[in-house]
A and B are shown apart, each in its own frame.
Chain A
Amino acid sequence: MSLSIIHPGLMTTLQDGGRYGRQKIGVIPSGAMDIYSLRMANILVGNDEYEAALEITLTGPTIEFTSDTLIAVAGGDFRPIIDGQAVPMLRPVAVKAGAILRFGPCRTGCRAYLAVSGGYDVPAVMGSRSTCLSAGFGGFEGRALKKGDVLPTREPGEYGQKMMYSLLSQGAHSFKQAKWRISQTHVTEERLRKPIRVMAGLQYDAFTDKARYDFFSTPYRVTTRSDRMGCRLEGAKLPLRAPLEMISEAAPFGTVQVPPDGSPIILMADHQTTAGYPVIAQVALVDTARVAQLRPGDQMDFRLISQAEAEQLYIEMEQCMENIRIAVAGML
């Protein structure tokens, strides 16, 4: 049971819920940029929701299935097709052996997740199957996929097997999708345009009044120098009132730091564990998934919320994920 990579796409890596627990020794968490899309894709195929899936970026791969496989695609819309037929997203799809799945360029969003029932069979490194690109370990040989790679997959669990046979028994030429789908997603043109909600950062008060005004009232554009480490923005420069003596400190996913050139950088999944630039804001975790879906050239606005509001949003999102999990389990 495996997937053959006919074309790797721009950057396709294995990512799971992240390699947490070792930031103390400098191990960057890595993991999915858009954690909620990863979790949805896994729930749909009966996996643990933090299981590793393929993270597909901007231009998608072409993949051949060597055996019947239950898959799900969530996140950005790459118009995936098999045999010229659109493969619908956010639902379980049973794919027959020999089928070739092609992802095109991304139409909405920036990243999609391809989960297979049972998960990808690569060794966990320090408790995670995420690819750590900078240090070259984890995932598939510690790197992005290349043409000719063969990714082994594990045996699906009970849910995956039952769902796959129930779909295939309805008769399929090369694939068959479930008639239902998850309807909640943050990856729509409309939702991606809504402001990114942030909390004040540790050094918020060290920025000039004008910087703080500009940050919340003028748009910022994602630059082409953005990657899995950081979303680098251009827009109004954000000067400090006076130079700050900074000592490196821990910085989590979503930290908006401002280097001396005044252009903010949002730290993303592959960020270093510690950072030394002034922090103007902290992106609410629920909105990091939307930042992950913005492409170079896209604009974003920021809106200030309190820490209590961000915590409430986080909890509501977890309750929403729990409801999705229960609903999907009931579909068998």
Chain B
Amino acid sequence: MDHAYTILPLGEAGLLVRFGSAIRPDIHRCVKALADQLDRHPFPGLIETVISYTSLAVYYDPFRVRQSGGPAKTASAFQSVSRFLKEEAIPLADTGTGAAARTVEIPVCYGGECGPDLPFVAEHCGLSEEEVIRIHTGPEYLVYMIGFCPGFPYLGGMDKRIATPRRQTPRLAIPARSIGIAGEQTGGYPFSTPGGWQIIGRTPEDLFRPDREDDPSLLHAGDIVRFRAITMEEYLAQRGDEA
């Protein structure tokens, strides 16, 4: 890829490759492409990468990077990793075909017990509850990053017509699998945690499964998400044991 970037230190065991300062799908594609490139072709001493809106964090073990030496044994680990990224990983990272996004459909039971804040969101936005659901299930959302807690997706692409501020008083416990709105953001809670999001529904799908070693997170940065409205009966058919 030939998108502009800057490399910034993140302590002595990491760095950030930043591709811009705006939340935009094209910038995020660069972040994802570099993460994919490093997954396929890691360097000795690489620990892991973390995808966020505009940057990729590259964590490494300076001791192992220095031990692996390479052409310049005198260079610092930061210099060696920066050079590898500039000369090899970034030029080879492919924002095109290699990065074809997965689409994940998430069924949501909106309103009622599952979505206690749906009436508030509807009133705040001057819409009916049905309109809020129609608008929320309309777009294709981009998963910009997973953070806050294991499996929590930060989604982009929500229609501003249903934007609603956070609750004045956060709830002490939001049930796991709740789907909510906070400002212009929407997302889902993998675990029961305190939070201030407006809860409009709940999905029967687990967003995070610690026992699935190979792929514990339902969503990954770069995925496309679509929400689909389901009835309480359909929800209970999948989650009847715990409602």
- Chain A residues with CB under 8 Å of chain B are 20-28, 125-127, 132, 134-138, 199, 202, 247-252, 254-255, 272-274, 282-285, 307-308, 310-311, 313-315, 318
Contact = CB atoms under 8 A, between A and B. Distances in A.
Contacts, number: 140
Interface string B1-38: 00000001111111010000101000000000001000
18 contacts: A21-B48, A26-B147, A26-B149, A26-B217, A127-B213, A132-B150, A134-B191, A135-B210, A202-B16, A248-B147, A248-B154, A250-B55, A273-B146, A273-B147, A274-B50, A311-B12, A314-B62, A315-B62
B47 A250 contact: no
B199 interface: no
Contact of A250 (B50, B151, B152, B193): B50
Given A250-B52, A273-B147, A311-B78, 12 more contacts: A20-B48, A21-B47, A22-B48, A24-B48, A25-B208, A125-B211, A137-B210, A248-B147, A273-B146, A274-B148, A285-B11, A307-B9
Nearest to A319: B63
Contacts of A138: 210
B147 to A, nearest CB: 4
B77 A311 contact: yes
Nearest to A275: B147
B151 A25 contact: yes
A252 B11 contact: yes
B146 A25 contact: yes
Tell which of A26, A202, A274, A314 has the most Cβ of chain B within 10 Å: A26
B54 interface: yes
Contact of A27 (B77, B150, B193): B150
With most chain B CB atoms within 10 A of its CB, the pick from A272, A308, A311 is A311
Contacts of B220: 24-25
Nearest to B66: A315
B116 to A, nearest CB: 23
A255 to B, nearest CB: 8
A26 B59 contact: no
A254 B48 CA distance: 17
Contacts of A252: 10-11, 13-14, 57, 59
A39 to B, nearest CB: 13
B37 to A, nearest CB: 14
Contacts of A21: 47-48
B90 to A, nearest CB: 17
Contacts of B14: 250, 252
B196 to A, nearest CB: 15
Q: Which 10 A-B pairs have the closest CB atoms?
A: A250-B57, A274-B147, A25-B217, A250-B50, A310-B12, A26-B146, A282-B11, A318-B63, A137-B210, A311-B12
B157 to A, nearest CB: 16
A25 B63 contact: no
B21 A24 contact: no
A308 B76 contact: yes
Contact of B216 (A22, A273, A274, A284): A22
A134 B9 CA distance: 29
B216 A25 contact: yes
A127 B213 CA distance: 8
B148 A314 contact: no
B213 A126 contact: yes
A256 to B, nearest CB: 10
A27 B146 CA distance: 9
Contacts of B191: 134-136
A285 B211 CA distance: 31
Nearest to A315: B63
A314 B13 contact: yes
Which of A199, A249, A252 neighbours the largest number of chain B CB atoms within 10 Å of its CB? A249
Interface in B122-174: 145-152, 154
B108 interface: no
Contacts of A283: 11
Given A24-B35, A26-B148, A249-B16, A282 B10 contact: yes
A311 B10 CA distance: 12
A20 B150 CA distance: 13
B222 to A, nearest CB: 10
Interface in B45-76: 47-55, 57, 59, 62-63, 66, 76
A274 B146 CA distance: 9
Contacts of A249: 16, 52-55, 57
A248 B220 CA distance: 16
Given A249-B57, A285-B11, A25 B150 contact: yes
Contacts of A202: 8, 10, 16
B221 interface: yes
Nearest to A134: B149
B12 A250 contact: no
Given A25-B217, A248-B147, A273 B78 contact: no
Nearest to A21: B48
A307 B78 contact: yes
A310 B57 contact: no
Given A250-B55, A252-B11, A315-B62, A24 B50 contact: yes
